[in-house]
Chain A
Amino acid sequence: MIAALHVLDPFCTWLAATPLSQAIQTVEWIIPAVQTVHILCVASVMSSVLMIDLRLLGIGTRGQTLESVASRFLPFIWWPLPVLLVTGATLIVAEPTRSLENSVFVLKMALLLGAVAVTLIFSLPLRRDASFWELTTARRGAARLLAAVSLPLWAAIIFAGRWIAYTQVS
C-alpha cells in the first residue's frame, strides 16, 4: 500500500457519508447492475482493440483495409469510455476508501492513461490521412508496435480491476 494515499482519508470518509453513497450502499441491486454495464463496456473496448490490433499485426480480417477496420471499431473504443468513467465513479462513491486509497486502483488508472495515449497515437494521424500507417515501411512497423503494446496494456487494466477487490486497504 502507498501510505501517502491516507491523505485522502477525510475526503473518503466524507464521501462515504453522503446520501448518494449511502443510497448506493443500501440499495442492493445498484452495484451489480452498475458492474454489469461496466463489463459490457469493457467488452466493447477490448473486442474493438483486438480487432484493430489483429488487422495491424496481419492476423485475420484479411481483405479489409486498415481504414475500414479502424473506422468500424474506433467508435466502439471511444464511446464506452465515458460510460466506463461514470459507472466506475459510481463504484468509487459507494466505497471510496476501498478504491481511492488502493495502490492497485492507482496502477489501474496509470495503465488506463497509457492505453488511452497509445490509442490516441494510433487514431489521431488517421483523422488527417486514413492511409497514414500504411504509407511507409517504418510506419507499418510502428503501427505493429502500437498493436503489440496496446493489447497487453488493456488486458492489464482488466487484471488490475479484478485485483482491486482483493487488495486490502489498511
Chain B
Amino acid sequence: MLDSWLQALQDLALPTAIREGDGLFPWIEGVHVLALSLVIGSIAIVDLRLLGMASRELSVRQTTAGTLPVTWCAFALAAISGGLLFSSNATTYAHNVFFQIKLLLIAVAGLNMLAFHLLVGRGAHAWLTVQDTPLRGRLVGALSLALWILVVACGRWIGFTLNAVT
C-alpha cells in the first residue's frame, strides 16, 4: 500500500526530472546541505549557550531571539529540498534504515525543542547568566546537540547504504 503511494510519487513529473535530469539532483543537494548547515549551526549556538560553552555574556533569551528566525527559515528550506530529494527515489529511501532513523531523530529533536520552549524553558527569561541556567536547561542543550549530530551522520550513511537496499 505505502509502496504503491511512494511509487506513484516518484513517477510524478518533478521527481522523475530530479532523478533523470543531469543537474537537478546535485543542485537540490547543495541547497539541502546549505540549509541543514544553518539549521544545525543556529541550533548549536543556543545549545552551546545552554551548556555555558559559548555566548556566555548573553542571556538565553537574547541568544534564541537572534537564531530562531534563522533556524525556522533554514529548516523550511531543508525540509523542502529534502522532500524533493526523497521524492525522486521515494521507494528506495523509505526502505533505508538510516533514512528511517534520521526522520525519527528529527522528530525527537523537534519534541526536545518544543519541550524547551513550552515546559523546561518557562522562566528562561530569568536565565541571564551561565550560572542562572539550571541543569534541565543544560540537559536540553546536550540532548539537542547529540541528536542533530546523529541526524547529520544518518544523512551521510544513507548515501553509502542505498545500493544495499533492494
Interface residues of A (CB under 8 A from B): 28, 31-33, 35-36, 39-40, 42-48, 50-51, 54, 60-61, 63-64, 68, 72, 76, 155, 158-159, 161-163, 165-166
Contacts and interface: CB of A to CB of B under 8 A. Distances in A.
A44 B156 contact: no
Contacts of B25: 166
Contacts of B159: 32
Most interface-central of A46, A50, A60, A155 (chain B CB within 10 A) = A46
Contacts of B155: 39
B1 to A, nearest CB: 32
A73 to B, nearest CB: 8
- Majority secondary structure, B binding face: helix
B37 A76 contact: no
Interface centre among A32, A33, A48 (most CB of B within 10 A): A32
A45 B44 CA distance: 12
Interface residues of B, number: 34
Nearest to B150: A36
A158 B33 contact: yes
B33 A161 contact: yes
